[in-house]
């Protein structure tokens, strides 16, 4: 990408994971341009949402019915509302991040403007700690409407954790919701649920669903979505056709080309060599996660706090034309040559850090990064 001053960068944030094929991807562009000449929003139903719903149902294991929305927070919020309506219960067991809407964001430190009372209905459990979920069900018998979590974040599920979560939820009459806003279409064509072979009751998709166009979906079992057809999740722009055209083109490209194989291959290459370089120069940073969704972690170093070290890394890599973020997402348009270039940049920065004298403070050109939650 190119900034306003004409500087060019290789971007590894990929629109916070929404870009899976590449920026301004030709096939997606053509699909949108073609639809633009026909109209983007109509007063009556368009056949395009039906076509997309059918494609999602043919692709995602848990999908028998689909509701189309606009962003990931819409999808998770809709799934929670549907689960509450279906079960007749209010309380939610949650793990991981699920968007900015009130029902979830009350659990974060940035919850100004949200009624504090909402926190009474959401309980957090720890990933790979089934006992923490068991405790919630024991303390709130017949009150939990749903368990919502990302099927995987960065930590690998251990000791049949996902199977146990599903079994526990169903044992207590709760629904299992997979937040696949990030994992959907990156782990496999059918999402992380297909990758791990665990089928939830409801699934939430966004991000890579339309290669950067604003679109999300809730997919799930017919018995649940048919029984809650009167539960409102409607929005004016939910079935705007440009994003749906982009999604149809994106999923078709995922079906026809080795997109997922490619991003896994590049992710493996980066993760392995980054960690080798960090060990070589003694820098306390580790690339963790799955190849399709990586994260860079940092620790304190030579009297410099972790966030200062991370800030310096991001600052210096940007200077050299590489945009990293908290999470790294490969796309089909990234190349091995670009991965090598990024790794060369990492090595230069590691050398600079290794040359610091003991207790010498790293110089930042801006403020130390602030973590939002």
Looking at the fold, whether 251 and 274 belong to one and the same domain comes out as no
User: Is residue 267 located within the same domain as residue 239?
Assistant: no
Q: Residue 298: its pLDDT value, please?
A: 96
| Dihedral-angle region of residue 54 (phi above 0 means left; psi in -120 to 50 means alpha; beta otherwise) | alpha
C-beta of residue 290 within 8 angstroms of C-beta of residue 187: yes
Asked if 60 and 191 sit in the same domain, the reply is yes
Q: For residues 102 and 242, state if they share a domain.
A: yes
* Domain final residue pick, 215, 241, 256: 256
CB 294 within 8 A of CB 324: no
CA angle, 58 then 64 then 69, to 5°: 90
CATH number at residue 343: 3.90.1150.10
Q: Once rounded to an integer, what is the mean pLDDT over residues 65-70?
A: 97
User: Is residue 365, in this structure, part of any structural domain at all?
Assistant: no
Residue range(s) defining the domain that contains residue 119? 39-256
This prediction has a pTM of 0.94
Our measurement of the distance from residue 48's CA atom to the centroid of its chain's CA atoms, rounded to an integer in Å, reads: 25
Res 373: pLDDT = 60
Asked which of 256, 276, 311 is the last residue of a domain, the reply is: 256
**Within a domain: residue 322?**
yes
Q: Are 205 and 267 members of one domain?
A: no
Do 251 and 346 share a domain, yes or no? no
Predicted pLDDT of residue 326: 80
Percentage with pLDDT > 90 across the chain:
94
183-214 pLDDT per residue, tens: 999 999 999 999 999 999 999 999 999 999 99
Phi-psi group of 50: left, alpha or beta (phi > 0 → left; psi -120 to 50 → alpha; rest → beta): alpha
Tens of pLDDT, residues 228-255: 999 999 899 998 999 999 999 999 999 9
| Domain assignment of residue 230, yes or no | yes
| Mean pLDDT (whole number) for 99-122 | 93
249 and 287 co-located in one domain = no
Would residue 265 count as lying in a domain? yes
CATH number of the domain at 163, please.
Answer: 3.40.640.10
C-beta contacts of 364-369 below 8 A and 24+ residues apart: 364/308, 364/311, 364/312, 364/315, 365/315, 366/311, 366/315, 368/305, 368/307, 368/308, 368/311, 369/307, 369/310, 369/311, 369/314
Report yes or no: 177 and 156 within 8 Å, Cβ to Cβ: no
> Which of the listed residues 234, 256, 278 is the one where a domain comes to its end?
256
Based on the fold, state whether residues 121 and 187 are members of the same structural domain. Answer: yes
Say if 4 falls within a structural domain.
no
Beta-bridge partners for 204: 179, 218
The total domain count for the chain is: 2
Evaluate whether residue 367 is within a structural domain: no
Residues 205 and 105 in one domain: yes
Q: Report, as an integer, the average pLDDT of 87-108.
A: 95
């Amino acid at each position: 990408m190119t900034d306003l001053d004409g500087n060019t960068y290789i971007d590894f944030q990929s629109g916070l994971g929404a870009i899976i094929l590449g920026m301004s991807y030709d096939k997606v562009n053509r699909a949108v341009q073609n639809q633009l000449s026909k109209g983007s929003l109509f007063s009556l139903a368009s056949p395009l949402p039906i076509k997309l719903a059918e494609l999602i149902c043919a692709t995602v294991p848990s999908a028998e019915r689909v509701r189309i929305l606009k962003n990931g927070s819409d999808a998770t919020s809709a799934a929670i509302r549907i689960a509450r309506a279906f079960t007749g219960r209010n309380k939610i067991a949650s793990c991981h991040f699920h968007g900015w809407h009130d029902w979830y964001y009350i659990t974060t430190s940035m919850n100004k403007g949200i009624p504090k009372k909402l926190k009474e209905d959401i309980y957090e459990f720890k990933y790979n700690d089934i006992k923490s979920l068991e405790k919630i069900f024991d303390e709130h018998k017949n009150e939990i409407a749903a368990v919502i979590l990302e099927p995987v974040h960065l930590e690998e599920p251990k000791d049949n954790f996902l199977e146990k979560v599903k079994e526990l939820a169903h044992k207590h009459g709760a629904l299992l919701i997979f937040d696949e806003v990030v994992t959907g279409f990156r782990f496999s064509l059918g999402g992380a649920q297909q990758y791990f072979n665990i089928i939830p009751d409801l699934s939430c998709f966004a991000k890579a669903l339309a290669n950067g166009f604003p679109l999300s979906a809730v997919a799930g079992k017919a018995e649940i979505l048919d029984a809650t057809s009167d539960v409102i999740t409607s929005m004016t722009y939910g079935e705007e056709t440009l994003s749906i055209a982009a999604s149809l083109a994106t999923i078709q490209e995922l079906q026809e080309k080795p997109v997922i194989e490619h991003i896994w291959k590049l992710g493996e290459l980066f993760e392995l060599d980054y960690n080798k370089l960090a060990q070589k120069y003694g820098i306390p940073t580790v690339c963790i996660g799955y190849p399709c969704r990586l994260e860079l972690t940092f620790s304190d170093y030579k009297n410099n706090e972790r966030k200062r070290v991370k800030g310096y890394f991001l600052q210096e890599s940007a200077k050299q034309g590489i945009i990293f973020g908290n999470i790294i997402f490969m796309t089909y348009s990234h190349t091995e040559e670009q991965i090598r270039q990024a790794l060369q940049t990492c090595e230069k920065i590691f050398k600079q850090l290794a040359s610091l004298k003991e207790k010498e403070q790293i110089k930042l050109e801006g403020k130390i990064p602030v973590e939002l939650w």
